[in-house]
A and B are shown apart, each in its own frame.
Chain A
Amino acid sequence: MTPAIELTQVTKIYRRYSGRQFATLKSALLQRSILRDLSPADTFPALQDVSFSVAPGQTYGVIGRNGSGKSTALKLVAGITKPTSGRVSVRGRISALIELGAGFHPEISGRENVFINGIMLGLSKREVAERFDEIVEFAELENFIDAPVKTYSSGMYMRLGFAVAIHVDPDVLLVDEVLAVGDEAFTHKCFDKFGEFRRRGKTILLVTHSLSVVERFCDEALWLDGGRARTHGDPKRVVDAYLSEVEKSEEALLAATTSRAVEAASKRADGAATEAPGAAPGAGGEVSEGGRAAASAATGAVVAGPAGGELQNMFQAVEGRWGSREIEITHVTLLDKEQQPSFVFHSGDPMAVRLDIVAHAPSTDFVFGVSLFNADGVCCYGTNTFIEQMDPRSLEGEVKVTFAIDSLDLVEGTYKLDVAVHTCDGYPYDYHRLLYTFRVKSRTPDVGIYRPHHRWSFSPGVRFKGDPS
């Protein structure tokens, strides 16, 4: 069967504007560069050597990061831009849900805009008239259709644009990230409409960031990365490959964030220490004073003094590092279930925090503490060895301390870590506040802070789709 959409080794090169947004005739004349300016000089490849084909009746998903060439691919298929090299062929009438209501004129009524938009998308006037009621009903705008479009809310505007585009009755429908055009009910209606398209054997090309939509709706998927096709085929497999790649780059990003934070904090702490040599034990310099309060607060009210002012520090999500460094945390590593250093964890997986510690002098008074904060700065959990009634006896030389969590029962999100060594009464040796960032991923979009281990059970009479029965 001939494919409905076929791209053969398509390359699209955009011209990059070197410094000058608008060409001026004068400069072109002065530099005799009219001809050169009209032909691309400094270029940027948006798509490179991409080939794929979509059989008629298939729903094909394209995923990829921002700037990976997804929208360019869609524009090429729509015929809005031409490939620099390669071939694009599409069979049948196309309707592109790229920019909804792109042709609407704000001053004239919704009714007139529906007609003009429909004609723009390739319908005849009579065809629009035939579908008019259906379009208006779909857009849920019966009461406003004669008002000028400029009075519409953005949701109404998008709904009307969507309704017109989808009623063009195309053979090939191109959809670019437009499913978020309305409330829940409207989104459902859109999906129903897509379902109807599929049943009628129409071809859909879908560009989206919503991976679950790709998994649920598409027969095949393509992953674009930096303008090249990374892989294509079964949507589940493509999505998984994409997700693991995203995780990898997220890891690199978090690693960079963390090392930057640690470096900056250490520098600041060193600077403060040399500026105020009096900030040694007991001297009560500003640094250690604040540090003491924060340290006590973060590792539990048990150690904290009774003063309310101290507790406030707990809510101050200011990253930093302070302490006397008699005992120093030289390195902090987060370990995944394979004991490999990592920054991305899955909800429910084990995680371990390993502290590399150097005691510059033997000590008999020490407490190790760890606490977790979510992105809002809420302390999700905090504990230390003192609270857990471990009585310090001695510490000397280089040691390792590991805080192991069997099951990281947190919801998806970005978390930060406090680690500290201090004396039993809260005086800090080395306090690292919010310097370590990690991410928890979850396939369940549940909410809150903490995911208790749980299980649902139902008495007979409750059934779900897909249950073994």
Chain B
Amino acid sequence: MFSNLAQLVRYRSLILSLVSRELKARYRGSVLGFLWSFINPLLLLGIYSFIFTTIMPNRVEGVQPYSLFMLCGILPWTWFAASLTEASGSLIAGGNLIKKVLFPAEVLPIVSVLANMVHFFLALPIVVLFLVAYRHPPDALDLLWFPVAVLVQLVFTTGLALVLAALTVHFRDIRDILANVLMLWFFSTPIIYPWFQKEVAPYKLFFDLNPFTHLAISYQEILFFSDAIGHWRWLLALGAASIGIFLAGYWLFDRLRDSFAEVV
């Protein structure tokens, strides 16, 4: 397993070129091209903002301007959810490669995660735009934690992506189950509501067990709240756990590797 992991480093140029191909191919033929990376989250944000500031206004103290607060959580979530959705189908979509070419299969889910990370980065200027527009400067020192949060999320997501990709080859239902699980997961993570809202308190244990809670809170503290980050211990703990998840995911993937070419 570890020798295979080491091989991954050798495949970095393959991974990079596949990621760039993925990005290029995605918007090829569309009029707006890369602009969609901005427009998609903006539209999503517009919808949520309209609902939660006009239809069902969220007036919790401390999360105004609400659109900006929500944006800090939604962008990482979009990266996470899209990565898992794409990764779970990646081996089936890349079946031709696995069956006909000597090709390291783990590259495919990893490319899904990385391509969506690039989309996440491309959407960050929107956050900057909002921060400037609302004159809502984040704490400068907190920003140093931003790469840490991204790294933790990357490892965590990749681990899950490997598991899902490997299992989906054998059980195609996972793709449908996943869509629903992600929906539930989104609403049970403090993204469109703050974690300190009083209604959340009774379920604190449940929220603490949700790994994405800690990522969402970290992003919100780093980008939105002006006081120093208070959640860094949780973030680092999640980071440690993510390494475990990644290794376990890779182990499972490696175990099932030989079956891919036959089952896909």
Binding site for B on A (CB under 8 A): 14-15, 22-26, 28, 37-38, 75, 78-82, 94, 96, 98-99, 102-103, 105, 107-108, 112, 115-116, 119-121, 124-125, 148
Contact = CB atoms under 8 A, between A and B. Distances in A.
B25 interface: yes
A98 B262 contact: no
B102 A25 contact: no
Interface stretch (B13-21, B62-70, B82-90, B115-123): B13-21
Contact of A25 (B96, B171, B261): B171
B256 interface: yes
Interface stretch (B34-42, B154-162, B172-180, B237-245): B172-180
A26 B170 contact: no
A107 B99 contact: no
Interface string B19-51: 001001100110000000000000000000000
B170 A38 contact: yes
B53 interface: no
B103 A120 contact: yes
A15 B101 contact: no
| Interface-centre pick from B17, B25, B259 (highest chain A CB count, 10 A) | B17
B219 to A, nearest CB: 33
A108 B28 contact: yes
A107 B30 CA distance: 11
Interface of B: 13-14, 17-18, 21, 24-25, 28-29, 96-103, 170-174, 177, 256, 258-259, 261-263
B101 A107 contact: no
A37 B169 CA distance: 12
A121 B17 CA distance: 13
16 contacts: A15-B262, A23-B171, A23-B172, A25-B171, A25-B173, A25-B174, A80-B261, A81-B258, A98-B100, A103-B103, A107-B28, A108-B21, A112-B21, A116-B14, A119-B17, A124-B13
Nearest to B11: A119
Contacts of B256: 38
Contacts of B261: 75, 80-81
Nearest to A98: B100
Nearest to B168: A25
A231 B10 CA distance: 41
Given A14-B262, A81-B262, A112-B24, A102 B100 contact: yes
Contacts of B170: 23, 37-38
Contact of A102 (B14, B96, B171): B96
* 4 tightest A-B CB contacts, nearest first: A99-B100, A25-B171, A107-B25, A102-B100
A108 B24 contact: yes
Nearest to B100: A99
A102 B29 CA distance: 22
B17 A78 contact: no
B236 to A, nearest CB: 34
Contacts of A96: 100-102
A121 B171 CA distance: 30
A81 to B, nearest CB: 5
B14 A119 contact: yes
Given A15-B262, A112-B24, A119-B17, 6 more contacts: A14-B262, A24-B173, A37-B170, A80-B98, A102-B97, A103-B101
A96 B261 CA distance: 15
B28 A120 contact: no
Nearest to B257: A82
A97 to B, nearest CB: 10
| Interface-centre pick from A75, A79, A124 (highest chain B CB count, 10 A) | A75
B116 to A, nearest CB: 17
A151 to B, nearest CB: 12
A99 B172 contact: no
A120 B97 contact: yes
A80 B102 contact: yes
Contacts of B25: 105, 107-108
A116 B171 contact: no
| Interface-centre pick from B14, B24, B100 (highest chain A CB count, 10 A) | B100
Contacts of A120: 14, 97, 101, 103
A78 B262 contact: no
Contacts of A75: 261
B36 to A, nearest CB: 15
B192 to A, nearest CB: 30
Contacts of B13: 119, 124-125
Contacts of A119: 13-14, 17
B12 to A, nearest CB: 10
A108 B28 CA distance: 8
B262 A99 contact: no
A94 B102 CA distance: 9
Contacts of A103: 96-97, 101, 103
Contact of A24 (B24, B96, B171): B171
A38 B256 CA distance: 9
B147 to A, nearest CB: 27
A373 B21 CA distance: 57
Given A24-B173, A107-B28, A78 B21 contact: no
